[in-house]
Amino acid sequence: MVDLPGLDDLEPQGQRVLVRADLNVPLDGHKVTDDLRLEASLPTINALRDAGARVILMSHLGRPKGEVHDDLRLAPVADRLAELLGAPVAAASDIIDDDAHRVVDQLSDGDVALLENLRFDPRETANDPSFARSLAALGDAYVGDAFGAAHRAHASVVGVPRVLQPAVAGELLRAEVETLSRLLESPEQPFVAILGGAKVSDKLGVIDNLLQRVDRLLIGGAMCFTFLRAGGAAVGASRVEEDQLDTVADLIAQAGDRLVLPVDIVAADEFEADADHELVAADAIPDDWMGLDIGPATIRTFADVIRGARTLVWNGPMGVFEWDAFAAGTMGVARAVAECGGFTVIGGGDSAAAVRSMGFADQVSHVSTGGGASLEFLEGVELPGIAALRRT
C-alpha cells in the first residue's frame, strides 16, 4: 500500500477532480435496484466534497458497445446518488462534448457532476489516447476508485492517469487492495476458500494461487461437476467442461484432503425454475438430470468447515440461487459465513448479490464491489487500474 498514493496526497480545494468510479448498478427502468456500488463510492466523494473539490464522476453502465442506448443513460444513477449524498448531482448528457464542459464549468467547490456513460464512446474500451486526453482536459487531478473496472485497461482507468497528474487511489480502491492483499499475504489460519459459479475455467488461476495458501477449498456451483466428473463420478446432464477434465484431475491430486466437494446434489430434469427435482448422491446423478444446487449434507459439511475458519473468502453461488427450489445451498453457505466470526470476504459478483439479498452483508468483514477484478487479484495478477496509480 505504501506505493499507492491516496486522497491525502491531493490538495483538492477549488480543483476539478476527475473520479473514475464504478457506478455500474442494476436498473429497473429508471430505478436503481442495488445501491452497493453507490454506497461504496460515498466515502471518496464525501471526502473530496468536504475538502472543497469540484467532483466530476466518470463511470460506465452496462455494455452499450460504443453506441448510445437511452436505457443505459446515467441520469437515474445521478438521481439516486444525489439522494444518498443529500446533495445535487448534475448529470451531463454527453461525455466530453459541449454539455459535459457546460456542467463542469458551472461547478462550485463541493459540487458533484456525473458524465454520461463512458462506454457510449467506443474509444473508452479501446483505451484511445485522444479520448483519454479529452477526459483529462475536464480535470486538474485524477482519482481512481473503480475497483470493479480496475482489471480493464480502458481509457478512463489507465489512459487518463498517464496524462493527468496528480493521480491517486480513492478510499474504495485502497480498501479493496488492502483487504484482498491481506488474504494473499497474511491470512490467519485456518484459511478457507469457497468457490462456486458456472465455469471452472474462469477460476483456474484463482484455484492454483489459493491452493498454495488455504487449509480448505470448498467447491460448489456448476463448476463442481467438472471436479466430480474428473474424479470418476456420474453427473448426468450436469454442466461439465470436458476440455478441463485433465487440468482439474491434476488440481484434485495437488489439493489432496484440502479439497472438499459436494456429497449430495439437488438435481432437476430440466433447467427451469419449476422443474421436477430430487436429492441424489453427488456421484450418482441420473442420466438426463442436472445438478442445480448442493444438498443438505453438503451444506452441513461446508458449514462445519466454515465455522472453524479464521480467514475466509467466498466467490460464486452454490446453485441457481435466483430460483427458490435451488437457493438453499447458497443460503446455507451465506448463513454459515455470516456466523463464522473470522475475517470474511465476499468476492463480489453473484456472491455479493446473494449475501445482500439474504440480509447478511452487514455480518461479513468485507463485500467486494468487483467480481471479475477480485478474481484476477486473487490470481496474483496486478490489475491495470492499480498499476497505473502506483508510484515508480
Give the active site residues.
Answer: 37, 199, 349, 372
Q: Give the separation between CA 22 and CA 149, rounded to whole angstroms.
A: 7
Q: Give the separation between CA 142 and CA 44, rounded to whole angstroms.
A: 12
Contact criterion met (CB below 8 Å) for 365 and 132: no
Check the CA dihedral 366-371-373-377 and report its sign: positive
Which secondary structure element, helix H or strand E, spans residue 17, and what is its range? Answer: strand 16-20
What does the H/E/C string look like for 172-226?
HHHHHHHHHHHHHHCCCCCEEEEECCCCHHHHHHHHHHHCCCCCEEEECCCCHHH
Nearest partner of 202 among 64, 322, 376, judged by Cα: 376
3-state secondary structure of 77: helix
Pairing of strands 167-169, 141-144: parallel
| Cell numbers for 302 | 461446508
Pairing of strands 112-114, 89-91: parallel
Contact criterion met (CB below 8 Å) for 170 and 19: yes
Single-letter code of the amino acid located at 354: A
Q: Give the separation between CA 201 and CA 183, rounded to whole angstroms.
A: 22
Q: Give the separation between CA 119 and CA 146, rounded to whole angstroms.
A: 14
| Cell numbers for 4 | 499507492
Contact criterion met (CB below 8 Å) for 32 and 62: no
| Cell numbers for 72 | 443505459
